[in-house]
Amino acid sequence: DESVKSAYVNEESAERMAKTLSKLRGAALKLGQMLSLQDDHAVPPQLQAVFNKIRASAHVMPQAQLHSTLRSELGEDWRDRVRSFGEQPVASASIGQVHRAVLPDGRLVALKVQYPGVAASIDSDLANLRRLANYTGMLPRTLFVDNIIRVAKEELLAECDYAQEAAHTDRYRALVTEAEAANPALRGAFRVPAVIPELSSARVLATEWLAGGPVEAVERMGAGRRNAVASRVLSLTLLELFQWRFMQTDPNWGNYLYDAPSDTISLIDFGAAREYAKPFVDDYLRMVDACARRDRNAIMDTSLRLGFLTGDEPGEMHDAHVAAGFILGEPFATREPFDFAASQLSTRVRQHVPVMLKYRQRPPPNEIYSLHRKLSGFFMLCIRLRATIDCRQAFDAIRDDYQLDPVPVTPPAASGATDLTHGSAPHDSLGGGRPHETTLATGGAGSAGAR
């Protein structure tokens, strides 16, 4: 009903919604993040404003509640394990806040404390968000909000488990150490904090404090430094996905701290780290390879196998899906350094989004929400840094060591997927061999990798 919908699309209503949704802060921010990755233009600007207000608001635990949480999680004697503790948080996030502390041996640590009740309220908070989305009718059916909410629940529950995050941090730290040993060019390029076990629990996580500021501050530096940082982040992202199959998927640039004096990027916050199964990564590699080679048939084959498409969509949808893939493949298709700022990738991909939203018949694979959140962050960082870098060479280094398993034998595709040859390049399925190129695939929504 348009009258109901219109009640939610003015500034005053947005303010009221922001106040209401701020009580559901973690769930609301997660939903907003996942919706924006589908396509920011599919979400009404008034609702985007609501999520922006929530993101900008700071929630701070009352001191009595903070101390109660620390005692219950770390024991009554927790202060005996620190020389000093900063009572005021230095940062606040959707599910917790960070304090600075000093250990008896003089080491500076970051102490992350979870807001009480966050994990227990996830079900009810997301249910309230679902009711709000259904009532207002502000979101297109083809965003498949119910699926987004299901995935959001899984991710939020995982992010509330600080013991798991500690294990992820240790694992990531070991992977970076191994990568530095194998590749001299990466030595000293990254730092991952050590976990402090004696000050960590399921709802409190202590890690060593690392120097640096948000990596986007590099945009004020010279072109050489900007390009070097962007190239380094690209190399890391390719390692995460195609070698480790273990990725920190939170694109918040505050999780990448750049220290100019040491020219080091410190990596923090591994609550959103996750694994990807090899069959999925294999097919994703085939997809990005096909996009870079502008191979329409291979894009369609892999999109059907991954579950981006059903094969029964109209040809207009297939054309838009493939065209968006071609655009996102450009950084990896050229042997010349790619100028992200001049490429207008986001604008060009966005032209195809209305068609994809109109005809989409299924949500993207669940893995895509987290993966494209990370890849979107990389694209946006390169645009912000005005980076001009050789993406193809970076991928070649990964490609040479990658071993694809054979493509599983599947029944013939649905009849709607039979006429896919218009405008295609010669088909190369990469069934068991080594890919030629790569790009960032379109996530079923085309624009996920470009914002």
- What residues act catalytically? 250
- CA-nearest of 36, 33, 73 to 163 is 73
Cα torsion through 417, 421, 426, 432, rounded to 10: 0
Q: Rounded to the nearest 10 degrees, what angle do helices 296-306 and 278-293 cross at? A: 160
Q: How many residues does the chain have?
A: 451
Place of tokens 């916050």: 269
Q: Give the distance between the most distant pair of CA atoms in the chain.
A: 71
Which residues are registered as beta bridge partners of 274? Answer: 247
Q: Quote the CA–CA distance of 293 and 316 in Å, as a whole number.
A: 21
Residue 76 identity: E
Q: Quote the CA–CA distance of 99 and 92 in Å, as a whole number.
A: 9
- The CA angle 289-291-292, to the nearest 5 degrees, is 65
Q: How many CB atoms lie within 10 A of CB 7?
A: 12
Place of tokens 């505050």: 254
Which residues are registered as beta bridge partners of 190? Answer: 265
- Cβ–Cβ under 8 Å, residues 244 and 194: no
Which residues are registered as beta bridge partners of 214? Answer: 257
Q: Quote the CA–CA distance of 337 and 94 in Å, as a whole number.
A: 37
